[in-house]
Amino acid sequence: MALAELERPVRGPDGRASALRLYRAWPEGPARLALEYRDEVGRVVSGHWFATGEAAREALRPVRRRTDLEVERLAAAGGLVALYPPGDDALLKGLRPAVERPGSELLSHRPWRRASVKLDSGSGPSYAKVMRPRRAAQVAERARQATDLAAGAFATPRLRAVEEDGVLIFDEVAGARLLEVVRGEGRDRALAALGEALRALHDAQPAESLAPYPHVEAARRLVDHAEAVESLAPAASSQLAGLARSIGARLEPPVGPPAPLHRDLNGTNMRITEAGGVGILDFDQLTLGDPAIDLGGALARLVGNIESFQRPLEEELAASAAFLDGYRPAGALLKRAEGHFRATLVQGACGCVLRPAGRPHLPALTKWAADERGLSELLRGTGSGV
C-alpha cells in the first residue's frame, strides 16, 4: 500500500472502507514521516510512517504511556503507518478540548508538534494554535514582538488569550490570501505592498531578546531536509540532496547588522485587504538574521504560483518583479538573496516529493533550483527598477 492513498479498515455507516488522501508530510529523520491526511469529506487525520516495526514501537512506547488513545496500524510503503483518532494527540494536551468547542474545525495537524483550529466565537473570527506548553510561551512572546515590530506598517494577528495546555487564541487577520490576489488584476499592487511591508519589518528596531539565526544554520537545515527526503524516496528525489549540498555550501555570509526575520513567508500566511493593506501571520519563527533569507525565500514562494509553474523562470520572475520594486533591495542584498531563493526552491521540491498533489511541479522546481543565472540577470528586461 502506498502512502498517497490509504484504505482504512474502519468502515463508515454505508459499510465502505474509509479512504484517505495524503495532504502533506514532514520528514523527521531517515526512518519517520509525520503525515497529514484528508478523508472523503475533508476532515484532518494525522499519523506517522515508520520504516520498521521496531522504529514504531520505540517512538510510540512513551506516547502510549501518556494516553490510552487507540492507534490504527496499517502496512504501507515498506513500513508501518500509525493513524491517530482525529483531534487526539498524546503530546498536545490542549488539542482535544479545542476541537470539541462548538463550531470549531481542525484546520491542520502535525502530530506531536502543532495544530491549528478554527473557532466560532461570538467576538469575531479567531483561531487556536495548539502546541506543547513551553513552545507556546515562546510563540506568544514572538507574536507580541511581531506586533511591536509592525508598528502599523502591516497587520499581525492579535493574541487574544494564552490558555492552559499550550493553546494560543488569535484574532483572524482580514483579507484575501496573497495567492488568491496575485492571480487577478490587482497583482502588481499587492506584490508591491508586500515588498514594502517586508522592508518595514527588516528596517524595524528589534527587541534585544530576539535570538540570532546564523546563515550556516539555514544551510544545515536545507541539507538535512533534502537528505532525509532522498532516503525516504530516492527515485523521486535523486537530484535534490546534491543540489542542497551545492547551494548550502555557497550561501553568502551576511553583511551589516542583523534584521528581524519571519523565516516562513508563503502564499497562505500573507493577506491583502480590500484597501490594499498587508497582513502577515505566523511569526512563530521570528528571529534575527540576514534579511536575504526572507527576501529570497518569499520570492521563491511567489514564482510559479502566479501561473502554476507553466512558464520559464525568467517569465515567472518578471510576473513577481513588483515585489522587489516594493522592497527596493540594494545590489549586495539581492546577490545574497540568490542562494536563499534557490534553497527555498529545493525545499519546495522536497515538499512535492512527499505531497502527491505537488508532484507535477517537481520538474520545474528542480530545474529552477539548478539554474545558475543570478537574479539580476534573470530580471534584466522585466522593467523592474531593481
End of a domain among 144, 171, 198?
171
Q: DSSP letters of 6-75? A: EEEEEE-TTSPEEEEEEEEEEE-STTEEEEEEE-TTS-EEEEEEESSHHHHHHHHHHHHHH-----EEEE
**138 and 180 housed in the same domain:** no
Judge whether 289 lies within some domain: yes
How large is the angle between the packed helices 187-203 and 133-150, nearest 10 degrees?
100
Report pLDDT for 69. Answer: 57
Q: 305 Cβ partners below 8 Å, 6+ apart? A: 179, 182, 267
Report pLDDT for 382. Answer: 64
**137 and 33 housed in the same domain:** no
Report pLDDT for 19. Answer: 84
Least confident of 64-68, 167-171, 185-189: 64-68
Mean of the per-residue pLDDT values for the chain? 88
Report pLDDT for 304. Answer: 74
Q: What's the domain range around 129?
A: 95-171
**149 and 267 housed in the same domain:** no
Q: If 0-12 CB within 10 Å is exposed, 13-18 middle and 19+ buried, where does residue 103 land?
A: exposed
Instruction: Tell whether the model's pLDDT for residue 150 goes beyond 70.
Output: yes
Judge whether 88 lies within some domain: no
Give the helix/strand (H/E) hosting 161: strand 159-163
Instruction: Tell whether the model's pLDDT for residue 79 goes beyond 90.
Output: no
Average pLDDT over residues 150-164: 95
28 vs 95: CA distance, rounded Å: 21
End of a domain among 83, 107, 137?
83
Q: DSSP letters of 347-382? A: HHHHHHHH-GGGGGGHHHHHHHHH----HHHHHTTS
Instruction: Tell whether the model's pLDDT for residue 27 goes beyond 70.
Output: yes
The pTM score is 0.92
Average pLDDT over residues 345-366: 88
Average pLDDT over residues 181-195: 88
**228 and 359 housed in the same domain:** yes
- Is 304 within 8 Å of 316 (Cβ atoms)? yes
Higher pLDDT, 334 or 209: 334
233 vs 231: CA distance, rounded Å: 6
Judge whether 145 lies within some domain: yes
Report pLDDT for 45. Answer: 92
Q: Pick the most confident of 43-57, 69-83, 178-192, 249-263.
A: 249-263
pLDDT level of residue 329 (50, 70, 90 thresholds):
very high
Least confident of 95-109, 156-170, 227-241: 227-241
**314 and 251 housed in the same domain:** yes
**123 and 102 housed in the same domain:** yes
**126 and 195 housed in the same domain:** no
Instruction: Tell whether the model's pLDDT for residue 374 goes beyond 80.
Output: yes
Strands 159-163 and 176-177: unpaired
Report pLDDT for 15. Answer: 54
pLDDT level of residue 77 (50, 70, 90 thresholds):
low
Counting runs of H as helices and runs of E as strands, what totals does the chain give? 13, 16
Report pLDDT for 40. Answer: 85
Report pLDDT for 74. Answer: 77
pLDDT level of residue 385 (50, 70, 90 thresholds):
low
Q: Find the CATH number of the domain harbouring 133.
A: 3.30.200.20
Q: 66 Cβ partners below 8 Å, 6+ apart? A: 90, 91
Q: If 0-12 CB within 10 Å is exposed, 13-18 middle and 19+ buried, where does residue 247 land?
A: buried
**DSSP helix/strand/coil, 116:** strand
Report pLDDT for 67. Answer: 57
198: cell is: 517586508
pLDDT level of residue 65 (50, 70, 90 thresholds):
low
**CB half-sphere exposure, 10, CA atoms < 13 A:** 14
Q: Find the CATH number of the domain harbouring 357.
A: 3.90.1200.10
**162 and 182 housed in the same domain:** no
Report pLDDT for 148. Answer: 96
Longest Cα separation, the chain = 64
Instruction: Tell whether the model's pLDDT for residue 375 goes beyond 80.
Output: yes
